Amino acid sequence: MTTRRLFATGIARGGTSLVGRMVDAHPRCAIAIDAYLHIFRALRNSIVLAQEPDFDPTRPMEDFYFDAAQRRRLDILMDGSIDVAFSGADPTMLRDAIRRRASDESGDLAPFVDAIDGKTPRELIDSAFAQIERARPAEGLAVVGVKDLWIADLFPALAHGYPDARFLLIIRDPRDVVASALGFLSIDPSQVGHVLSMLRHWRKVVALAIHYSAHSDFAGRFAAVRYEDVVRQPEVEMHRICALLGVEWDPATISVADFKDYNSGGSWRGNSTFEPALDRISRSPVGRWRGKVAPPVVALVELVCGAEMRACGYVTEAPTVHEADILDFLRVDGSRTVSWRSDTGTPEANIALERARKAAIDGSASVDIPSNFLFPQAYERLRHGMPLFGVAA
């Protein structure tokens, strides 16, 4: 039986693991959770290096804002192919990196990692997907997929390369994303990303969702879902996702007892910052940022992401704060050691860029549309308040 591929993504602390486990619980689906990011980085590098030989392959996944060179790379990725020559990584080192990352959430893949190989990104991806089927054989398997963070800008190359593939973007209120991330400071600071950089990636995901929703290549193949809708009405949302995948809805997709932990062999108990174990799909994480995120941080989130939040149906609250307090948070957060960041490094410059962008949305100033909004249709939708989901969270 020929299986259909699924590529699902979002940003860290964005509810992606829950949605990935829900799909994986379907008896006809097998989804590798956070196992293959290094393969997708290799795809990004291969596409960009074919056009920019001097590109540094160690760069993190980019958000493309406020930088003409980065914005040109977004165009390169939008026109990219999975059939370019593989470059930018040693195969042995790549497999070692895959094995380390897979051990966090998809430990059952570890015995099969050495079989992953290929001379092009397509061969590498095909080989990686084959290992999912080897690790999780099932009668009547219809969908084999991955849920990996930060890969939304690779969807066009994957869509061109796999005409039958499906694509899923998971979006969560960025205030709750930040609450979850900052809550990890007392648990494992190494897992807490640079907040402003996370926010810029969050709004990139929304811009890409707008772009893909209007693109003929993704007609009938793409869906954006809100985490809040998934936890409030899981059966409704899983019916929609199953329809996208071409499989009948199954009650296992909303039964937490059926969510597998591929490291322990038992049931998955969740990875919430604030709850010790998952025993049901709960609405309690929605709006948890209230009382946990300080007003200056809320103001920063809404300055950076406000228009995109409203497009996604999130109600902004515009807390009254002094800009000096926002700058103080940016200085403190910017002083932490993080594995990657994508801002200017100067709080005052960051705020000036965000203020100018907001003024363009309000109609009181003009800016370069591609560098500030990535796509013209994203700017138009934000400028005119056109909803992406059409409901309030």
Q: Is the pLDDT of residue 270 over 80?
A: no
- 317 Cβ neighbours under 8 A, 6+ residues apart: 298, 302
Q: Return the pLDDT at 264.
A: 83
- Considering the domain architecture, whether residues 34 and 156 belong to the same structural domain is answered as yes
**Could you tell me the pLDDT band of residue 276, with boundaries at 50, 70 and 90?**
low
Tally of structural domains, the chain: 2
- Residue 17 and residue 9: Cα distance in Å, rounded? 9
CB atoms within 10 A of CB 105: 20
Position 393 scores a pLDDT of: 56
DSSP symbols for 150-196: T-GGGHHHHHHH-TT-EEEEEE--HHHHHHHHHHGGGT-GGG---HH
Task: Tell me if 271 is assigned to some domain.
Answer: no
Compute the chain's Rg from CA coordinates: 20
Q: What backbone torsions phi and psi does residue 270 show, to the nearest 5 degrees?
A: 90, 170
The pLDDT of residue 150 is above 80: yes
Task: Assess whether pLDDT exceeds 70 at residue 116.
Answer: yes
DSSP 234-284: HHHHHHHHHHHHT----GGGG-GGG-B-TTTSSB-----SS-S--SS--ST
Nearest Cα neighbor of 309 from 299, 324, 323, 294 is 299
pLDDT, averaged across the chain: 94
Task: State whether 350 and 239 are in the same domain.
Answer: no
Q: Examine residue 84 and state whether it is found in any structural domain, yes or no.
A: yes
Instruction: Name the percent of the chain lying above pLDDT 70.
Output: 97
Looking at the fold, whether 33 and 169 belong to one and the same domain comes out as: yes
- The tokens describing 159, both together, are 């869509």
In-domain check, residue 328: yes
Residues 316, 283 contacting (CB under 8 angstroms): no
In angstroms, how far is CA 241 from the centroid of its own chain? Answer: 17
- Evaluated on CA atoms 380, 159, 56, 112, the torsion sign reads positive
CATH number at residue 10: 3.40.50
Residues in contact with 110: Cβ distance below 8 Å, sequence separation at least 6, in sequence order: 99, 102, 103
What's the pLDDT at 279? Answer: 77
What's the pLDDT band for 134 if we cut at 50, 70, 90? very high
Q: Is residue 266 part of a domain?
A: no
Q: At what angle do helices 195-213 and 376-383 cross, to 10 degrees?
A: 100
Is residue 272 in some structural domain?
no
66: left (phi over 0), alpha (psi -120 to 50) or beta: left
The whole-number pLDDT of residue 71 equals 97
Per DSSP bridges, beta strands 4-9 and 29-33 are unpaired
Per-residue pLDDT, averaged over 267-278, amounts to 72
Instruction: Tell me, yes or no, whether 73 and 152 share the same domain.
Output: yes
- Pick from 210, 229, 258: which residue ends a domain? 258
Residue 147, helix vs strand vs coil:
strand
373 plus 306 within the same structural domain: yes
Q: Is residue 53 classed as helix, strand or coil in its secondary structure? A: coil
List all residues 6 or more positions away from 244 whose beta carbon is below 8 Å from its beta carbon: 166, 168, 221, 223
Domain-located, residue 51:
yes
In a shared domain, residues 228 and 311: no
Q: Which residue has the higher pLDDT, 50 or 318?
A: 50
328 and 252 co-located in one domain: no
Instruction: From 204, 235, 258, give the residue that closes a domain.
Output: 258
Interval 202-213: pLDDT, tens: 999 999 999 999
Torsion-angle region of 203 (φ positive above 0: left; ψ -120 to 50: alpha; else: beta) = alpha
| 296 vs 113: CA distance, rounded Å | 45
For residue range 184-196, list pLDDT tens digits in order.
888 888 888 999 9
- Grouping H, G, I as helix, E, B as strand and the rest as coil, residue 203 is helix
Domain end point (choices 206, 240, 258): 258
- Whether 269 maps to a domain, the answer reads no
pLDDT band at residue 1, thresholds of 50, 70 and 90?
low
3-state secondary structure (DSSP) of residue 291: coil
Q: What secondary structure does DSSP assign to 54-87, as a single string?
A: T--TTSPPP--TT-HHHHHHHHHHHT--TTSPP-
Q: Which residues, in sequence order, are CB contacts of 227 under 8 Å at separation 6+? A: 14, 15, 18, 19, 170, 171, 172, 173, 176, 286
Q: What is the pLDDT, as a whole number, of residue 392?
A: 55
Q: What is the pLDDT of residue 191?
A: 82
The answer to whether 37 and 89 have CB atoms below 8 angstroms apart is: no
240 and 376, same domain (yes or no): no
Residue 218 DSSP class: G
- Are 218 and 335 part of one and the same domain? no
Is residue 236 domain-shared with residue 309, that is, in the same domain?
no
Same domain, 187 and 38: yes
Same domain, 86 and 201: yes
Query: Does 354 reside within a domain?
Result: yes
Range of 206's domain?
4-258
Asked if residue 72 has pLDDT above 90, the reply is yes
